[in-house]
Chain A
Amino acid sequence: MNPGDMLRILPEVVLTLTGVLIMLADASLPPNAPRRALGWVAALGTTLALWASLWQLSLPAGTAFYSTVETSPFTVFFHVLICGIVLVVLLLSLDSLPAESHHQGEYYALVVLGAVGMCLLTSGIELLVIFIALEISSIATYVLACYRKESGRSPEAAIKYFLLGSFATGFLLYGIALAFGATGTTQIYELSRLLPTAQNHTMVLAAMALMVVGILFKVSAAPFHVWTPDVYEGAPSPVVALMSTAPKAATFALLLRVVYEIFPTLRSSWAPLLWCVAVLSMTVGNVAALRQQNVKRMLAYSSIAHAGYLLAAFAGLGPGGIAAASFYTAAYAAMNVGIFAVVTMVGGYDDQRSMIADYRGLIYRAPLLGGLLIFFLTSLVGIPFTAGFFGKFYAFSAAVGGNAIWLALIGLLNSGLAAAYYLRLAFVTVQPAPDTESFAKVATPTVGVAVAAALLFTVGATLVLGIIPTQALQAAETGAHTLQVPAIDENPAYITVGTQQPR
């Protein structure tokens, strides 16, 4: 180890220090003192981390700590993304957490420390680091999911998430064990060097299968998605905003690393699998969302579908697949955090108004929130000039570029289907509310400075990624190039599975 190595984990270090600082401050503050300022500290720390990540671009790409972490445009891309998400979620939480809560200090510390895990997840190149990072981010989100512990739903969500998450971690770990068994190492680059020549081909396959299972669970892709709706429904909305985006982005980065860096030679095996999983995810997510009456649950199903779109980006193995997937992650994060911000504001911390019917006439009660809700829904539908569209566009153009035309077709038809439930919500929002007592009572949510900033960030990101996405896409592409991707062969073997030529 040399001192320069610390620079390679600078964002993580900053985040960790912020977390520790918050903990210390929390402990030293008098019990009844307001702890809202800690949130600002967290936001500041995250901003610093974000800046640190960007600064890392000036470092030459390379590894540190005996090749357990690396810094590259790829990691920077996801670091910035994750820090951005965390920052927005922090801002959102600042206004939506009950002001008098005593747990605020822990909350902010957990978010910030969880971000350490997520960041490390994208930059780790040693399965051990990755495993621990994954656990950090998971445990942080388990706890956060349980945060509204006095209600019945939040602990239920947490326990489901926790038990199933650990269950899936078991599989991931078993996969790692088998990979280790096949090669004797857990360093990603060594693995990818050794695996093609490994003696036990079937063991390698089994290792890959189990690792992929563990990761697919985390990204809530069908058929490993079953936990998602329950957890999203029960967890506090700001936390859902976080856990539906940041850990997911990190896990996607991991998935990219695993399939492209560890098992690039097995492409003919995993590509069809991801093809199937992508199709299944989008279909299951969208179809199941059609009948949902609970907004958060509906968005949970929608996130399953979006995981499907994202998988489609590189299941097709097009030349821009990785970049498209990275970009999609960012686009999805922008709009999903945005919409959860709105949902948080509308539903309240207690989720008292989370049914679709509660959104009736929202645009008249709270024009800003209503308008933004429609805007984000539009983006989720994938209407041009929003992030959702370009995300989808790049994802499916990568799929088509890889000749996976059916995948693209199914995906886009699915996004058409998805419009049905997104718009149902949007249209309810614009319907005049009945003049009944229950609606009259509904308070108009007030939008504070922090939330306003959060909304501004998400709207801005959604628009920028939709209208002038060039820079973000370039970043994603540079990142993709630094991921060690062997050249895509001309005639992938999966062609018979994925792409029956239309006749």
Chain B
Amino acid sequence: MNDSLHLWLIPLFPFAGFLLNGVLGSRLPKWLVTTIALLTPLWSFAIVLSAARGLLGFGATLPSLPFVETCPVGWIDAGALHIGFSFVLDQLSLVMLLVVTGVGLLIHVYSVGYMAHEDGYWRFFSYMNLFMFFMTVLVLAGNALVMFIGWEGVGLASYLLIGFYFQKNSAADAGKKAFIVNRIGDFGFLIGIFLLLANFGTLTFSEIAGKLAAAPAWQGGVLTAIALCLLVGATGKSAQLPLYVWLPDAMEGPTPVSALIHAATMVTAGVYMIARTHAIFDRSPFALGIVAIVGAATALFAATIGLVQNDIKRVLAYSTISQLGYMFLGCGVAAYSAAIFHLMTHAFFKALLFLAAGSVIHALGGEQDLRKMGGLRKKIPVTFWTMTAAVFAIAGFFPFAGFFSKDAILYAAFLHGPGGKLFWFVGVVTALLTSFYMFRLWYLTFLGESRSHDVHPHESPWSMLAPLSILALLSIGGGWIGMGRFGTFLAPVVGMSASEGGSTQLEILLSIVAVAVALLGWLIADRLYRQRPESADNLAAAMPAGYKLLINKYFVDEIYGYTVVKPLLAISQYVLEWVVDVAILGGATWLLAGTAQFAGAILQRWQSGNLRSYAAWLALGAAVVLLFFLLPATLGMHVSGMGR
């Protein structure tokens, strides 16, 4: 069929890969595992590309967007509820798909090298394919419930991949934590779905948008509630305050996983979801405000923690959280295209950062502590140069990709209503911090002298470097599309915000400020870590409280531990199990049984074995029976006598 894109094939290929490798992988030769693992996302990518080709005007004409494909058989048909498997391809999902399958494919390739010597090679790739499957389902989803499939599914894949080294308690813990925290977010999403169902009677995004469009005056109220519930879901998946805690721990997984799931794709699902349901958010300024606040706060918050982390992957993790905060900020100021734009560029450079970090770690034989690195520039040059491109991109230097997208968000924030300036200011401060800690990482890793003597770094294999290089190119050039074009492209889906029209003088001015700030961050890092390496420690020593606060990540995990987890366990154990279950309910049962037994004991005493006692009881019984019969009769006579 010419007019069919066979969207369902996009997730299906990775799923097939998952099944093949998952079921048979342990028995297949390694090369076959690799082939299956790589070919399946490649096919998906190819399909996406073929679709994109038409859209971008390169090839044959394709059906107009949005293109909807629905499975003829419904999924859940119960009573009045009809939910089908429907996939939607529009500009938004296309961009996401390109990122997901493209970056995903690159990371798969990278993993071939990175994971080459791991035991669960086949297991790793089957999980990766599973992730690709769920992620593409999430992106393509035409209704909220199908999206929820992907939503939960990527959480599952993330859980499995974080816990890949399951023999390590920390890894298993991290996986569990990720899943459960995500589930808390999913709880919000689910409630949101219920609210949608209750208020719209449908979960299909287009129908919801249509119904909203039909009621132009409908604002706030229940829509705010829906939006906030969805936001909870998004904060869970996209590691925003207050549900970000799982992401740093997720670094326990293999590095390609961190790159793919916890940097480039899955964590951006929240942003994607908000963009997808923007019709609802648009009707609730309050909810949007919350989104912006959450985003800005997270951006700043995570950046401060990132300043002092010593684990290379953790720095990147906090930077991811911070960057996701930007995206949320973008959504919060209704600049969805900007947010998606940043999402895309971020996918390039953050994947690159992680992969490069992975390469570093690979080179150092598993070392992740920044304090034990240094002087790697010469030893692993390709890694160094690609990483450098990424650092510049994330720091927001012109003309790297990050510059364009971050700038678009900051500009949109600046223009956004009363709080906009504040958001912008927070964004700029975050940019400063980002620049600082990224260069700190850069310095500590590559420059200076090696601080560890017993390692012999070596450059990574080709399979790892090739993806690095491609991503480096994208990090450099990915932003050149320009916000204007990108915004126009996405406009049919997410609309156009005021800031996305084109560049103005103000925007240029703001850009200059941003670049200046980034430069400032570099300079500070340069001063602290290149010129006077000891001064950083001095600074930390000078502000022990602050440093302690930061290095311990504001004690958030501990706070959660003491306010949520421990009380829950304690209440379950002591109040519910011991008091309610054992003492009250068990006690009640025991009491009933005990009463019966006690009564039994009393009645046994009755059986004294003494004949005369027995006779006494018989006599009593006889007297009672006699009384029983005679008394009513006597009374009756008396009464009737009275009657007479």
A residues in contact (CB < 8 Å) with B: 159-160, 163-164, 167-168, 171, 201-202, 205-206, 208-210, 212-213, 216-217, 223-224, 226-227, 229-230, 269-270, 272-273, 276, 284, 287-292, 417, 420
> A287 touching B596 by the CB < 8 A rule?
yes
Residue pairs across A and B with Cβ atoms less than 8 A apart, 14 shown, are A160-B614, A202-B630, A209-B628, A213-B621, A213-B626, A226-B613, A269-B632, A270-B629, A273-B628, A287-B600, A290-B596, A291-B600, A291-B604, A417-B596
Q: How far is the CA of A46 from the CA of B622 in the complex (A)?
A: 37
Question: In the complex the two chains form, is A290's CB within 8 Å of B597's CB?
Answer: yes
CB distance from B561 to the nearest CB of A (A): 46
Contact of A288 among B604, B632, B634 (CB under 8 A): B604
B629 touches A273 (CB 8 A): yes
Report whether A213 and B625 are in contact in the complex, using a CB–CB cutoff of 8 Å. Answer: yes
Q: Which of B603, B613, B626, B629 has the most CB of A within 10 A?
A: B629
A167 touches B629 (CB 8 A): no
A213 near B630: Cβ-Cβ < 8 Å? no
Most chain B CB within a 10 A radius of its CB, from A205, A272, A276? A205
A217 touches B633 (CB 8 A): no
- Which residues of A have CB within 8 Å of B590? none
Contacts of A205 in B (CB 8 A): 629-630, 633
Chain A residues contacting B630 (CB-CB under 8 Å) are 202, 205-206, 209
Chain A nearest CB from B591 CB (Å) reads 15
Given A287-B600, A288-B606, A290-B600, A206-B629 contact (CB < 8 Å): yes
Among the listed B606, B622, B624, which residue makes an inter-chain contact with A226, where contact means beta carbons less than 8 Å apart? B606
* One of B599, B611, B613, B618 near A217 (C-beta < 8 A): B618
A202 to B626, CA, bound (A): 10
Task: Tell whether, in the assembled complex, residue A167 and residue B600 are in contact, meaning their CB atoms are under 8 Å apart.
Answer: no
B116 at interface (Cβ–Cβ under 8 A)?
Answer: no
**CB of B214 closer than 8 Å to a CB of A:** no
Q: Contacts A202-B630, A209-B628, A209-B630 hold; do A168 and B603 have CB atoms under 8 A apart?
A: no
B574 at the interface (CB under 8 A from A): no
Beta-carbon contact of B600 and A202 below 8 Å: no
Q: A226-B607, A226-B617, A420-B596 are in contact. Are A291 and B601 (CB under 8 A)?
A: yes
Q: How far does the alpha carbon of A270 sit from the alpha carbon of B633 in the complex, in Å?
A: 12
Most buried by A among B607, B615, B632: B607
Give the distance in Å from the alpha carbon of A202 to the alpha carbon of B632 in the complex.
10
Alpha-carbon gap, A299 to B595, bound state (A): 21
A217 to B620, CA, bound (A): 13
Q: Which of A206, A226, A270 contacts B614 (CB 8 A)?
A: A226
Say if the beta carbon of B366 comes within 8 Å of chain A: no
B609 adjacent to chain A (CB < 8 Å):
yes
A377 vs B90: C-alpha distance in the bound complex, in angstroms? 72
Closest Cβ neighbor of A217 among chain B residues: B618
Q: Please indicate the chain B residues that have their CB under 8 angstroms from the CB of A217 in the complex.
A: 618
Q: Measured between alpha carbons, how far is A209 from B601 in the docked complex, in Å?
A: 31
If A230-B609, A291-B601 touch, whether A223 touches B621 (CB-CB below 8 Å) is yes
The docked-state distance in angstroms from the alpha carbon of A287 to that of B593 is 11
Closest chain A residue to B620 by CB distance? A223
Q: Complex formed: what's the CA distance from A43 to B452 in Å?
A: 104
Say whether, besides A167-B615, A210-B622, A417-B596, A201 and B633 are in contact (CB < 8 Å).
Answer: yes
Whose C-beta in chain B lies nearest to the C-beta of A164? B614
Closest to A208 in B: B629
Whether B618 and A287, one on each chain, are in contact in the complex, defined by CB atoms closer than 8 angstroms, is no
In this complex, the member of B601, B614, B632, B634 whose beta carbon has the largest number of chain A beta carbons within 10 angstroms is B614
Bound: A113/B473 CA distance, A: 114
Pick from B611, B618, B634: contact of A202, CB under 8 Å: B634
Are B596 and A171 within 8 A (Cβ)? Answer: no
B618 contact from A209, A224, A273, A289, Cβ within 8 A: A224
Could you tell me if A164 and B622 are in contact, using CB atoms closer than 8 angstroms?
A: no
Contact, CB under 8 Å: A206 / B626: yes
Minimum distance in angstroms from A259 CB to a CB of chain B? 12
Chain B minimum-CB-distance residue to A214:
B622
Q: B593: nearest residue on chain A (CB-CB)?
A: A420
Say whether B615 contacts A164, CB under 8 Å: yes
Q: Which residue of B599, B607, B611, B625 is within 8 Å of A163 (Cβ)?
A: B611
Q: A284-B603, A287-B599, A288-B603 are in contact. Are A226 and B633 (CB under 8 A)?
A: no
**B 399-453 contacts with A by CB, 8 A:** none
A326 to chain B, nearest CB (A): 24
Q: How far is the CA of A292 from the CA of B604 in the complex (A)?
A: 9
Label chain B's interface by main secondary structure: helix
Question: Taking the nearest CB of chain B, how far is it from the CB of A312, in angstroms?
Answer: 18
Q: Is the CB of A273 within 8 A of B625?
A: yes
**Residue among A212, A284, A288 with most chain B CB within 10 A:** A288
What residues on A are CB-neighbors of B604 within 8 Å? Answer: 288, 291-292
| B629 with A269: CB separation less than 8 A | yes
Residues of A within 8 A of B626 (CB): 206, 209-210, 213
Residues of A within 8 A of B609 (CB): 230
Do A287 and B603 have beta carbons less than 8 Å apart? yes
Are the CB atoms of B629 and A229 closer together than 8 Å? no
Whole-angstrom distance from the CB of B419 to the nearest CB of chain A? 63
Alpha-carbon separation in the docked complex, A444 to B607 (Å): 33
Contact B607 A288 (CB under 8 A): yes
CB pair B611–A209 under 8 Å, yes or no, is no
Most chain A CB neighbours (cut-off 10 Å) among B615, B624, B625: B625
Q: Select from chain A the residue with minimum beta-carbon distance to B592.
A: A417
B608: min CB distance to chain A, Å: 9
Instruction: List the B side residues contacting A269 at CB < 8 Å.
Output: 628-629, 632-633
Taking CB atoms, residues of chain A closer than 8 Å to B614 are 160, 164, 226-227
Give the docked Cα–Cα distance between A164 and B597 (Å): 28
Assuming the contacts A212-B625, A273-B628, asked whether A164 and B603 have C-beta atoms less than 8 A apart, the reply is no
- The answer to whether A224 touches B633, judged by C-beta atoms less than 8 angstroms apart, is no
Q: Which residues of B contact A273 (CB under 8 A)?
A: 625, 628-629
Given A160-B614, A202-B634, A210-B626, are A224 and B621 also a contact pair (CB < 8 Å)? Answer: yes
Q: How far is the CA of A209 from the CA of B628 in the complex (A)?
A: 8
Q: By the criterion CB–CB under 8 Å, are B600 and A171 in contact?
A: no
Determine the chain A residues whose CB is within 8 A of the CB of B596 once the complex forms: 287, 290, 417, 420
Separation of A226 and B614 alpha carbons in the complex (Å): 6
A210 to B625, CA, bound (A): 8
- Are B607 and A229 in contact (CB-based, < 8 A)? yes
The residues of B that contact A223 with a CB separation of less than 8 Å are 617-618, 620-621, 624
Which of these, B600, B611, B620, contacts A164 with CB under 8 Å?
B611
B633 touches A202 (CB 8 A): yes
Q: What distance in Å separates the Cβ of A191 from its nearest Cβ neighbour in chain B?
A: 17
Q: Is the CB of B629 within 8 A of A171?
A: no
Distance between B628 CB and nearest chain A CB, rounded to angstroms: 5
Residues of B contacting A163 in the complex (Cβ-Cβ under 8 angstroms): 611, 615
Enumerate B177-206 residues with CB–CB distance to A below 8 Å: none
Report how far A417 CA is from B599 CA in the complex, Å: 12
User: What A residues does B600 contact at CB under 8 A?
Assistant: 287-291
In whole angstroms, what is the CA distance A208 to B628 when docked? 11
Chain A residues closer than 8 Å to B613, beta-carbon distance? 226
Kindly report which residue of chain A lies nearest to residue B605, judged by CB atoms: A288
Contact of A213 among B603, B622, B633 (CB under 8 A): B622
- Cα of A185 to Cα of B471 in the assembled complex, Å: 119
Extra contacts, 20 of them, besides A164-B618, A213-B618 (Cβ < 8 A), are: A160-B614, A163-B611, A164-B615, A168-B618, A201-B633, A202-B630, A206-B629, A208-B629, A209-B630, A210-B626, A223-B624, A224-B618, A226-B606, A227-B614, A230-B607, A273-B625, A287-B603, A288-B600, A288-B607, A291-B600
Q: How far is the CA of A292 from the CA of B620 in the complex (A)?
A: 26
**Nearest-CB residue, chain B, relative to A205:** B629
Output the nearest chain A residue to B626 by Cβ-Cβ distance.
A209
Q: Is the CB of A167 within 8 A of B618?
A: yes
**Contact status B628-A291, CB under 8 Å:** no
Residues of B within 8 A of A206 (CB): 626, 629-630
A347–chain B nearest beta-carbon distance, Å: 20
B564-602 with Cβ < 8 A to chain A = 596-597, 599-601
Tell me the bound Cα distance from A213 to B624 in angstroms: 10
Name the residue of chain B whose CB is nearest to the CB of A291: B600
Task: Give the nearest-CB partner of A174 in chain B.
Answer: B622
